[in-house]
Chains A and B, each alone.
Chain A
Amino acid sequence: MSIIIELKNVCKSFGNTEVLHNIDFSVTEGEVVVVIGPSGSGKSTLIRCINCLEMITSGELIVDGISIPAERKRTRQIRLEVGMVFQSFNLFPHMTALENVAFGPRKARKVGKTKATDIARALLGKVGLADFEDKLPGQLSGGQQQRVAIARALAVNPKVMLFDEPTSALDPEMIGEVLDVMKGIAKDSGMTMVVVTHEMGFAAQVGDRLIFMDDGKIVEEGKPGEVMKNPKSERLKDFLGHVKHH
């Protein structure tokens, strides 16, 4: 299995605030990496850099063989191969569920309308929303919206999927349905995934590797079960204590 995402000595600053500090990190094809850490630790910024939504300040970042920062055309190429799911869903409010999912294939992959619709229907079925294709995002629950958003990201057929706290904005009873869809993607299609989350159960069950970030650095890294059972640093112990109580 080859490396698809590689960060070497990556730093990222917003003004004078350094958010990522000398990050070395790589992801192999088919791997599911779960990133945890307190808010402000830089985990969202990390995956946003991978998708070029943020530009790294220094260091080396290679995604699918393309070195970042790249010119705009290549940036788009990277984004075609790297899907993203956001905390706040970010579905296009003026498009139905089906149109949201068909949009990527149609406009980014230049697939014909009928074929794009077929792709979208199949994916909506896969995330359990076949009966909701004509609904606007405003008519769907949070969990349903996030499942449409996952289908939308999958529709352009990316090699990697990034999830930026996909269940943090959801009511507790809807978290399960979204996590189930994500588990399905990891298990069935062997998708490469980088997931920022606080869902420790998901991390233990699906994750191949767990990364704990704090203060812009990777503090601990390893098999999810081991890292959670035997945290080495005080900060991770403290963090796990807080997560478990909630």
Chain B
Amino acid sequence: MDFEFSVIIESLPALLEGAKLTWFITILGIVGGMSIGILAGLGRLAGTESLGEEPQGFFKPLSVLIRYVSGGYVESIRGTPIIVQAMFLYFAFPMLVKAVIDIERFRVEALTAAVITIMVNAGAYIAEIVRGSVISVHKGLLEAGMSLGISRFQLIAHVIGPIAIRRMIPPLGNQFIISLKDTSLFIVIGVGELTRQGQEIMASNFRALEVWLTVAILYLIMTTCLAMTLRYFEKKMKMF
């Protein structure tokens, strides 16, 4: 077996470019996914006892609607492969738009499709992480808060939120790493992220061992960075 270090050195600039793009998609995806996930996660709990008391009057049917919309989103995203979601957004969605509203040229950029796919996909899983953490908050603590006469908003902001966030961190770490690795699937829509760069270099020099080893190590470095960041937050929030 011959192993040439020079191959790694030569391919590194292109691979680092790919890694940069992977990192970019991941960070945007995580930020967007967190926003969507928190909304949808709380949405699935709208009007339930986990967020304080059941709503009255007008808010009752509204909360049912919010629950159904959030639930439908989570289930449809969890129930389909991310690669199908990316293909749909990149290839099928523009056709759908053109069919519905008569536009000459409508397309979704590959990078845009990648970022949106990660956001929407991670959002669905993060919604379940948020929901799980919120319902794990002991009911007695909600009652203690309510019996002091605070509002539902204060209850969520000062009691449920801080306790739930601590419990979210380990599963969030999981999801962030999964999302980072999921960006490798965007090879199918032609985004020049790390895996795609590796594939292209490999196709030109046929040095599979050196190229894929380097690609793997670059992924490992990025996932380790994510894991360490979350570990830092976990330690910073005093546990009880």
Q: Is the CB of B159 within 8 A of A92?
A: yes
CB distance B56 to A92 under 8 Å? no
The answer to whether B148 and A156 have CB atoms under 8 Å apart is yes
B147 touches A84 (CB 8 A): yes
Residues in chain A near residue B56, CB distance under 8 A: 71-72
User: Within the complex, which residue of A72, A108, A137 is in contact with B53, where a contact is CB–CB below 8 Å?
Assistant: A72
Residue contact A79 to B143, C-beta cutoff 8 Å: no
Q: Are B240 and A53 touching (Cβ within 8 A)? A: no
Interface centre among B147, B162, B238 (most CB of A within 10 A): B147
In the assembled complex, the CB of B4 is this many whole angstroms from the nearest CB of chain A, namely 55
Closest CB in chain A relative to B86 CB, distance in Å = 39
In the complex, whether A76 has a CB less than 8 A from a CB of chain B is yes
Measured CB to CB, the closest approach of chain A to B240, in angstroms, equals 4
Interface readout for B141-156 with A: 1 if CB under 8 Å, 0 if not? 1011111111100100
B53 / chain A contacts, CB cutoff of 8 Å: 72
Q: Give a binary string over A45-88; 1 marks a CB under 8 Å from any B CB, 0 the rest.
A: 00000010100000000000000000110001101101110101
Select B148's contact among A88, A93, A137, A152, beta carbons within 8 Å.
Answer: A152
Q: A92-B144, A94-B162, A94-B163 are in contact. Are A156 and B149 (CB under 8 A)?
A: yes
Q: Which residues of B contact A80 (CB under 8 A)?
A: 148-149
A147 to chain B, nearest CB (A): 15
How many whole Å from A83's CB to the nearest CB in chain B? 7
Say whether B158 faces chain A, with CB atoms less than 8 Å apart: yes
Please report the total number of B residues contacting A with Cβ < 8 Å.
Answer: 22
CA distance A108 to B163 in the complex (A): 20
Residue of A nearest to B158 (CB): A107
A91 lies within 8 A of B144 (CB)? yes
Number of interface residues of A (CB under 8 A): 29
- In the complex, the number of residue pairs spanning A and B with C-beta atoms less than 8 Å apart equals 70
B151, A76: Cβ atoms closer than 8 Å? yes
Shortest distance from the beta carbon of B164 to any chain A beta carbon, whole Å = 10
B residues near A51, Cβ cutoff 8 Å:
147
Residues on the A chain within 8 Å of B81, using CB? none
Q: Does B13 contact A (CB under 8 A)?
A: no
Cβ–Cβ contact B163 & A79, under 8 A = no
Chain A residues closer than 8 Å to B140, beta-carbon distance: 86, 88, 90
Name the B residues within 8 Å of A79 (CB-CB): 146-149
The B interface is mostly helix, strand or loop, or mixed, namely helix
* CB closest residue in chain A, given B162: A94
List which A127-169 residues lie within 8 A (CB) of chain B.
136-138, 149, 152-153, 156
| Bound: A84/B148 CA distance, A | 8
In the assembled complex, A212 has its CB within 8 A of some CB on chain B = no
Chain A residue numbers with a CB within 8 Å of B107 are: none
Contacting B149 at CB < 8 Å: which of A71, A77, A88?
A77
Asked if B240 and A86 sit within 8 Å, CB to CB, the answer is: no
- A104 interface contact, C-beta 8 A: yes
Query: A107, B148: Cβ atoms under 8 Å?
Result: yes
Known contacts: A71-B56, A93-B240. The answer to whether A53 contacts B147 by CB under 8 A is yes
Most chain B CB inside 10 Å of its own CB: which residue of A92, A94, A156:
A94
Q: A86 and B144: CB pair below 8 A?
A: yes
Does B149 contact A76, Cβ atoms closer than 8 Å?
Answer: yes
Q: Are B149 and A104 in contact (CB under 8 A)?
A: yes
Residues of A at the B interface (CB closer than 8 Å) are: 51, 53, 71-72, 76-77, 79-80, 82-84, 86, 88, 90-94, 103-104, 107-108, 136-138, 149, 152-153, 156
**22 A-B residue contacts at CB 8 Å?**
A53-B147, A72-B53, A77-B149, A79-B147, A83-B148, A86-B140, A88-B140, A90-B140, A90-B143, A91-B144, A92-B141, A92-B159, A93-B163, A94-B162, A94-B238, A104-B149, A107-B148, A107-B158, A108-B148, A108-B149, A152-B148, A156-B148
The 10 closest A-B pairs by CB, nearest first: A80-B149, A90-B144, A84-B147, A79-B149, A90-B140, A104-B148, A108-B149, A93-B240, A138-B240, A108-B150
Q: Which residues of B contact A (CB under 8 A)?
A: 53, 56, 138, 140-141, 143-151, 154, 158-159, 162-163, 166, 238, 240
Known interface pairs A76-B151, A94-B240, A153-B147; 20 further A-B residue pairs with C-beta atoms within 8 A, sorted by A's residue number = A51-B147, A76-B149, A77-B149, A79-B146, A79-B147, A82-B147, A84-B144, A84-B147, A90-B138, A92-B141, A93-B141, A107-B148, A107-B150, A107-B154, A108-B148, A108-B154, A136-B238, A136-B240, A149-B144, A152-B148
